[in-house]
Amino acid sequence: MRAALAVLLVLLLGSAARAERLIVSVSNHRVTVTPNYSGEELVLFGSVEKDTATPAGRKTYDLVVTVMGPRADMVTRRKERVFGIWINTDYRQFLQVPSYLALFANRSFEAITSPEIARRQQVGLNNVLLTQRVSGDYADVVPNDAFRSGFIRLRTQRGLYREDPSAVTFLTPTLFRTGIPLPAEVPIGTYEVEIKLFADGAFIGKTETAFEIVKVGFEQFVATTARQNGLIYGLVTAAMALMTGWMASIVFRKD
């Protein structure tokens, strides 16, 4: 009986806390990457809708936008000096981590919420869950782990991981926008966007949306064929080599 009451109470509080509604939309739900594509920026618009349950005193909101690209397994290797040369010695496997990851906010993550909530809501690159396989165990590790920080650093250098605590701008106290930069070598697939709303340091709700990145054109056709029909692809490449060689011997025939 007491337990049931407790559940009821939590439910009531939960619905009370969900007094704001988030309405969002991205400028383009389907991005096509053509051969001369050199990066693009999507725009995410949204507004915070208040209703009667909203506390009257609540004026300002904080937002954290998380964009996650298609997930993949990745191996991070570390080089060490062995007998005077640098070779790969140790490695860690990152399981089903996002191939693209971007975190945007309207002010610094520390100012938005407490470290405890930030960790639970995965706010900031240091708090996003990146599962590793460490000798049979599956776990995320401390943010300053050498492999984890090496991994994030390399992805950031390629523009695939980023965090920008000033990317979200409030046009009015409830209307906001943010740009989502997509680099030239953006992975194709479905991208999930999570928008988390905070007020006075507390997490008060979230919403989700998604967009898709597709590659079109000859290059994509080549890449797909190479992966799916390796034999035919190999035969065509070999035939192409023979043709080129033969053409050259005709064009440059000396006699």
- Residue numbers of the site for another protein (CB under 8 A)? 35-38, 70-81, 84-88, 91, 96, 99, 147, 150-151, 153-155, 184-185, 187-190, 219-220, 222-223, 226-227, 230-231, 233-238, 240-242, 244-249, 252
Give the torsion sign (CA, 167, 14, 98, 124). Answer: positive
Whole-number minimum distance, CB 41 to another protein, in Å?
A: 18
Whole-number minimum distance, CB 27 to another protein, in Å?
A: 23
Select 2 or 254, whichever has its Cβ closest to another protein. Answer: 254
Select 85 or 142, whichever has its Cβ closest to another protein. Answer: 85
Select 114 or 237, whichever has its Cβ closest to another protein. Answer: 237
Whole-number minimum distance, CB 172 to another protein, in Å?
A: 36
Longest Cα–Cα distance of the chain, Å, equals 102
* Beta partners for residue 196, in sequence order: 64, 206
Select 107 or 153, whichever has its Cβ closest to another protein. Answer: 153
- Residue 219's contacts (CB-CB under 8 Å, 6 or more residues apart) are 35
Select 70 or 181, whichever has its Cβ closest to another protein. Answer: 70
* Beta partners for residue 197, in sequence order: 63, 205
Alpha helices in 49-145 (DSSP H): 109-112, 115-120
Whole-number minimum distance, CB 182 to another protein, in Å?
A: 15
Structure tokens at 21: 């509604």
Q: Which amino acid, one-letter code, is at 24?
A: V
Select 172 or 249, whichever has its Cβ closest to another protein. Answer: 249
Whole-number minimum distance, CB 142 to another protein, in Å?
A: 17
Structure tokens at 165: 């605590």
Local structure of 175: helix, strand or coil? strand
Whole-number minimum distance, CB 230 to another protein, in Å?
A: 4
Helices and strands in the chain: count of H runs, count of E runs: 6, 14
Select 59 or 79, whichever has its Cβ closest to another protein. Answer: 79
* Beta partners for residue 195, in sequence order: 65, 207
Count the neighbouring beta carbons within 10 Å of the beta carbon of residue 23: 14
* Beta partners for residue 66, in sequence order: 103, 194
Do the beta carbons of residue 80 and residue 90 sit within 8 Å? yes
- Residue 4's contacts (CB-CB under 8 Å, 6 or more residues apart) are none
Whole-number minimum distance, CB 216 to another protein, in Å?
A: 12
